[in-house]
Structure 1
Amino acid sequence: MPLDDALAARMAEPDFWPVYLFDDDAPDVYCDDAEDQESHVTRFGTGGGFALVLELTLALEYVDLDLEAPGLPEPANVGWDDQAHFHPHVMPWRELDLLCRAVALHDAELRHPGPMLALLCRFAFLAENDDLDTVTPLVDAAFEAVRPGAAGGGKVRAETREWFDLRNLRGTGLVWTTRADGYDAVGQDGTDGLPLYSLRTPSSEEFPFAAWSALLTFARGRTAAAAADPVLARPAVREALDRCLAADGHEHLRALADALAAAGYGNRVLLRAVADPVDRAEACWAVETLAGLPQGELVARWFGPSPLSGSRSWRLSLSLPVRGRPERFGPQAAEQLNAALQAANLGSAGLGGSSLHPEDGGYVLAEQHLDILIRDDLARGVEVVSRVLHTHAAAGTATLRPQGKPDVIPLRPPT
């Protein structure tokens, strides 16, 4: 079943992706009438009665993901994302990539990387065994397909970087265990970074473990079947395929397409991906599948090191006393911090909450709490924050800490 027509049309509108991705500068699409709230539902089917069902309510900034599977009396919720009590950590990257491949093989109109990956990557996270060299080319290509615009300069797209910042759980103490029923679950043994918010924990009674395991088994079977055609063992095909497995293998795609066509290879999805890919990344996973290579092996070979290799992100909390300040002081400070960090390509800042103190029988605004994201260079990022706060004579009373930790980061005067 192809992408829902109404959603496909909405995705082409310029405000869709900022709203869907919860960008701070997204336009307000809220509607007071609950019956008129804009919502969309679309299914990504692998065949065999399995499908992931995405439901999004843009005005409420709410995105829900359900699983349809044989044996389930009704779709089971596997995760959701919003701005309050989110549980978006449904699957590690490798599972999302696998499911996108299986759906593309089942439905020729849902090419991979494309809409499914762009829409569902918010429900995938990076785990310890995920190599960024195998990830970033596919995420970049997915957003390029649905939101054209060059990243330039060998850098990843902004959407890819934002996803990395939000979903990079490597080094945060993730622990995979096998439950008593034999299914894999994920927990977190303490955290030195982003916390895990998932229904897929060892003690969960909500996550459909058996149905999810069956979905993955079916997806693996579908991709394996595409590589089992005896045609692929013919000498001319094998020779052409082997040439495509080198680092410059993308230069030999035409010869492989010709060899497959001459041999009568019947999988039109993979044949099209080799002969006429929308992006080199599409041809790459197709050749991986045809050759029976492990997921991502050829991606890393064709595309080389990821621009995100070695990247890090730090999430900080800034408490900013505002009593006696102008009413707009907190929001303006957040705007200036955000502009300064973005201008230096070091991160972003935004309002995260506030504290009220009792006064004269009522309450007054005492503190604004800001969420700070710093990328790659913590020291430089803190310098930018410190400079802005010193400009407003606020560094002496403000407190900057790593999120969830008591350690205070000094806000030294700029030099």
Structure 2
Amino acid sequence: MPLDDALAARMADPDFWPRYLFDDDAPDVHDAEDEEAYITRFPTGGGFALVLDLTPAEYVELAVEAPGLPEPANVGWDDQAHFHPHVMPWRELDLLCRAVALHDTELRHPGPMLALLCRFAFLAENDDLDTITPLVDAAFESMRPGVGGSGRVREETRDWFDLRDLRGTGLAWTTRADGHEAVGQDSTDGLPLYSLRTPSSKQFPFAAWSALLTYARARTAATAADPVLAQPAVREALDRCLAADGHEHLPALADALAAAGYGNRVLLRAVGDPVDRAEACWVVETLAGMPQGELVARWFGPSPLSGSQSWRLSLTLPVEGRPGRFGPQVAEELNAALQEADLGSADLGGSALRPQNGTYVLVQYNLGILIRDDLARGVEVITRTLHTHSAADTATLHHRGKPDVIPLPPPT
């Protein structure tokens, strides 16, 4: 079963992905009242599926469909207010995308499923970006060819990394009394965990989710057990593909599989005519029975995001006595300056009012700031922008959720 036709057509619109990803710069082409809701299924077989219900720029919900459930059970949602998008670690999303691709010839991996559902996956401890970045890049490239590229990594991939990197934030996996995995967070250092999958949760469908993963693992593992793969000519061709330059030997593997009468059309196509090298890579991994991601790292090498860092800052900007556009103007100029320097972004957050003569007066704006890779340079850009508006003496900058003030140096 391919993607829902209406959703597939909507995904082809230039404004779909910026709106779906809640991009602040998304064009407001569709009126919110006229925007349709879309529902699509990603089936693994065995009566299991993931069900995505979305309204671009507004709301995205993910549910699991499983035998024994009277209806799909909600596992997480994302919006711009009270989101709970942390459903699964990367390894589970990759596994489910592989299982769906094995079941449905129209849903290739990496492709629409990964691009649509990566917002529900997060980076956990020991996740290796070398195994992840090529797949996320390839998924968005398949959906938005020629759009969204930025140097060595796609913008969507970097944005996902910034929003979903929970490594080093005190994540703690536990096994509940019913035997199912749950995740909590022991500290508030870094991005907070927003998930229904916590140890004490009564909302998350733990049994159905565990059964889905068990089925997906069995489905992918069975692929490597095909007797054809043990034939000497096939095994020799497969082994050559396991080297760092293994992608150069894909045509020989495709020929060997065809000559041996291998019958899996999905995997034959992925080896002989992949939508991206990353598709052939996970398929060769699966055929060889390798651990998830091991060959991806070997074929693609170090991720451009390896060693990357990001910081989330809050800027308090007093505006009492200033012109009405002062706060938004500072935010716009700061955002432009950070983006031009490839250091991050800034946007308006909340504001504060105080009562005066029976009404309320705006006294400050709060700006949310993302700094990538070089905190010192980012603070320099912030400082320069504030000095331009004679606001550095009254503004305060600090790491989000922490009280310590970051000094703003004098102008140079």
- Amino acid corresponding to residue 250 of structure 1 in structure 2: H
Say whether residues 1:3 and 2:3 are aligned partners. Answer: yes
Listed as ranges, the matches of 1:337-352 within 5 Å are 337-352=334-349
Residue pair 2:271, 2:284 contacting (<8 A) in 1 also: yes
1:19 equivalent to 2:14? Answer: no
Partner of 2:188: 191
Equivalent pair of 1:29/1:58 in contact (CA under 8 Å) = no
Summarize deviations over 1:234-292 as a string: whole Å, max 9, x none. 00000000000000000000000000000011111111000000100000000000000
CA shift, 1:32, in A, is 6.4
Within 5 Å, which residues of 2 pair with 1:291-330? 291-330=288-327
How far has the Cα of 1:152 moved from its partner? 6.5
Letter paired with 2:311: W
Partner in structure 1 of residue 92 of structure 2 = 95
1:121 aligns with 2:118: yes
Give the one of 259, 264, 269 matched to 1:262: 259
1:140 aligns with 2:137: yes
TM-score, normalised to structure 1's length? 0.98
Supply the AA of the counterpart residue of 2:352.
S
1:57 aligns with 2:55: yes
Task: Give 1:360 deviation, angstroms.
Answer: 1.3
Q: Which of 210, 214, 224 is the matching residue for 2:211?
A: 214
User: CA 1:42/1:172 → structure 2, altered by over 3 Å: closer, same or farther?
Assistant: same
Q: How far has the Cα of 1:414 moved from its partner?
A: 2.9
Matched, 1:250 2:270: no
Q: What SS does the aligned partner of 1:265 have?
A: coil
Q: Where in structure 2 are the equivalents of 1:264-413 lying within 5 Å?
A: 264-413=261-410
State the shift of 1:8 in Å.
Answer: 0.7
Percent pairwise identity: 83
Cα pair distance change 1:283/1:10, threshold 3 Å: same
- TM-score, length basis structure 2: 0.98
Q: Is the 8 A contact 1:64 1:79 kept in 2?
A: yes
Query: Which of 73, 76, 82 is equivalent to 1:76?
Result: 73
Alpha-carbon separation, structure 1, partners of 2:259 and 2:139 = 31
Residue 41 of structure 1, aligned match among 39, 50, 62: 39
- Which residue identity does 2:347 align to in structure 1? G
- Could you say what secondary structure the match of 1:17 adopts? helix
2:168 corresponds in structure 1 to 171
Q: CA deviation at 1:153?
A: 7.9
Rounded to whole Å, the distance in 2 between the matches of 1:143 and 1:57 is 19
**Other structure's SS at 1:225 match:** helix
Instruction: Structure 2: state its 5+ residue gaps.
Output: none
Distance 1:334 1:292, change over 3 A: same
SS in 1 for 2:63: strand
Answer yes or no: is the 8 Å Cα contact 1:357–1:363 preserved in 2: yes
CA distance in 2: counterparts of 1:82 and 1:45, whole angstroms: 24
Q: Is contact 1:154-1:307 (8 Å) kept? A: no
Q: Secondary structure at the match of 2:225?
A: coil
Aligned match of 1:224 in 205, 221, 225? 221
Structure 1: distance between partners of 2:298 and 2:150:
20
Q: Write out per-residue CA displacement over residues 87-118 of structure 1, whole angstroms, 9 at most, x where no aligned residue.
A: 00000000000000000000000000000000
Letter matched to residue 241 of structure 2: C
Conservation of the 8 A alpha-carbon contact between 2:15 and 2:29: no
CA contact (8 A) 1:316 1:402 kept: yes
Q: State the shift of 1:226 in Å.
A: 1.1
The amino acid across from 1:39 in the alignment is: A
> Is the partner of 1:273 in helix, strand or coil?
helix
Greater shift, 339-348 or 66-75, is seen at 66-75
1:153 and 1:393, CA in 2 relative to 1: closer, same or farther beyond 3 A?
Answer: closer
With over 3 angstroms needed to count, the CA separation of the structure-2 counterparts of 1:16 and 1:189, relative to structure 1, is: same
> CA offsets per residue over residues 336-382 of structure 1, 9 Å max, x none?
00000000000000001101111112211111010000000001001
- In the TM superposition, residue 74 of structure 1 has moved relative to its aligned partner by 1.1
Separation in 1 of the partners of 2:223 and 2:174? 31
Check the 8 A contact 2:148/2:156 in 1, yes or no. Answer: no
Q: Distance in 2 between matches of 1:351 and 1:198?
A: 25
Q: Does 1:28 align with 2:34?
A: no
Residues 235 and 154 of structure 1: CA distance in aligned 2, closer, same or farther (over 3 Å): farther
Distance 1:41 1:225 in 2: 30
d(CA) in 1 for partners of 2:397, 2:149? 34
Q: In structure 2, do the counterparts of structure 1 residues 321 and 7 end up closer, same or farther at CA, with 3 Å as the change threshold?
A: same
- The runs of 5 or more residues in structure 1 that have no matched partner are none
Distance 2:151 2:408 in 1: 34
- The size of the alignment, in residue pairs, is 412
Root-mean-square deviation (CA, aligned residues, Å) is 1.2
> Tell me, what secondary structure is at the counterpart of 1:63?
strand
Choose which of 197, 201, 211 in structure 1 pairs with 2:198: 201
